[in-house]
Amino acid sequence: MAGASSEEDTKEISDDDGDEEGQLKSRHIQEIKELRARIQALKKSVPKGDKKKKKDVTAQIAQLEQEIKERHESELDEYNKKCSTDHHPTSDGDGGHQLQQEEASMAAKVSSKSQRKKDKREKKRRDFEEKISREPVSNEPSAASIEREQLLTQLKLVGLQIKEINPDGHCMFAAVSDQLLQRDGIKVEVELLRSQCADYIKQHHMELMPFLLDLETGDTLSDDKLVKYLSDLRDTALWGGQLELRALSHIHQTQLHIYQADCPILTIGEEYKHTKPLYLVYHKHLYGLGEHYNSAVPITT
């Protein structure tokens, strides 16, 4: 998708609004994340070469995406109608024109307040990205510890170990950069990977449209928001995820193997089987402000 925040980030941002609209949008964001996970599981369930199963799953995914989009739009429409009924009583007679002016003024104030809230949420999100804690999650050390042990066990079976990547918002791109250096002996800077990724998504945005979603509404990104997303992807510490990994897989024509606790290895870029994969490790609980990617390198004796 477009780069993603943790559930804790979403909750803090939505709670900051303190209103029904913020809670509604927060729930929509969570439902979209859950749908993406379900879609990924459905795709993994298709046996290689089973065209009928692949066709059925594709149709099921399209239906799920359409259903959640329509339901979210309906819920937002109902909320907006409720707000209109609660705050905009009708009036007849000579006072009608004055009321319309008052309503227009009120709408402008509401719009300005909404923009300020949006700017505040955006600043909070950027602060999270730029200032990720370097300390392990203090309120759930057991989850982080268990996850790490599971990952170490998986990696040991294939002769790999974790190589720590700095948790600065660029971790996914830095992990890919490290893997390209390990495999090819070529240093590709994070800034270049971000630029390549933004260029690829811009050129192929029509085919990637189902994954370019506005996390606040569940709708496909508008042209303006797509431009902003690409700018943030290129120039800020916007987190990367599966969408960006797929783009990098195509750009460098390589497979990526993503190791996750309690999950099968996620393979991205299966069409590039002739290449040696890049190995990444995905952590859900390692740091307090969101997901994290590390690199995986051969065990040294």
Strand 266-268, strand 256-259: pairing: antiparallel
Helix orientation angle between 51-87 and 20-44, rounded to the nearest 10 degrees: 180
Active site residue 77: no
User: Catalytic pick from 170, 171, 214, 285?
Assistant: 171
Q: Which is the catalytic residue, given 28, 170, 283, 292?
A: 292
Nearest of 301, 65, 280 to residue 163 by alpha carbon: 280
Q: State the pairing for strand pair 160-163/266-268.
A: unpaired
What are 42's two structure tokens?
Answer: 């459905």
Can 184 be counted among the known catalytic residues? no
First to last CA, the chain: 39
d(CA 300, CA 43): 35
- Which of 168, 199, 219, 250 is flagged as catalytic? 168
> How far, in Å, CA of 15 to CA of 10, rounded?
8
Contacts of 99 (CB under 8 A, 6+ apart): 91
CB 155 within 8 A of CB 296: yes
Give the whole-angstrom CA distance, residue 253 versus residue 285: 30
Q: Residue 210: how many CB atoms within 10 A of its CB?
A: 12
What is the secondary structure of 196-259 as a DSSP string?
A: HHHHHHHHTTTTTGGG-B-TTT-SBPPHHHHHHHHHHHHHS-PPP-HHHHHHHHHHHT--EEEE
Active site residue 199: no
Q: Residues with catalytic annotation?
A: 168, 171, 292
